[in-house]
Amino acid sequence: MDVLPGTALPYDSLAALQRLHRLQDALSKFGADGLLLIGGVDGRNDPRSDETIGWLLAGLSGREVFGGGDSKLRLLLEEAVLVIAADEVCMYATRELYETLLPRLGLWQRLRLWTPPRDTTDAEAVEAHKARAFVQMLSGLTRLP
């Protein structure tokens, strides 16, 4: 179980669920169907998206959100794509990222997950799979903030 620096509180599945619920509650306040978060280069290195992904999936808080935390995990998070809706979460993650996050995602209901096919190392095939997953993730949503 990971422990946040400077605290004795672990960032576990319950803490991750509480943060997810905070984001889902905010959707209704903004009248949005969902929240789109794209990490790294695919998200144009948007700091708001990268920081929110780190806050939600890595348990970062305080100054850590703005560039601290586990550098290996931060690199893995750059491949993450999430669509958070009021009643479900769609997520694209590399297999390594998913396996790293699995203990934290155990309480998330209606998590729809896409990962690259196990048997391919072709970068173009992986990107094509990611693009198809992205289209499926956004299906049915009309209002994103």
Listed in sequence order, the residues at least 6 apart from 16 whose beta carbon sits closer than 8 Å to its beta carbon are 56, 57, 59, 104, 105, 107, 108
CA distance 64 to 71: 11
Please answer whether residues 49 and 38 qualify as being in contact, where contact means their C-beta atoms are separated by less than 8 angstroms: yes
Both tokens of 101, joined, read: 């996050």
pLDDT of residue 131: 92
CA distance 83 to 33: 10
Both tokens of 43, joined, read: 């998200």
Phi, then psi, of 99 in degrees rounded to 5: -65, -35
pLDDT, one tens digit per residue, over 111-135 is: 999 999 888 888 898 889 999 999 9
Give yes or no for residue 31 having a pLDDT over 80.
yes
Give yes or no for residue 24 having a pLDDT over 60.
yes
pLDDT of residue 6: 47
Give yes or no for residue 63 having a pLDDT over 80.
no
CA distance 85 to 2: 27
The sign of the dihedral angle between the CA atoms of 49, 52, 53, 58 is positive
Query: What's this model's pTM, rounded to 2 decimal places?
Result: 0.85
Please answer whether residues 33 and 143 qualify as being in contact, where contact means their C-beta atoms are separated by less than 8 angstroms: yes
Both tokens of 18, joined, read: 């509480």
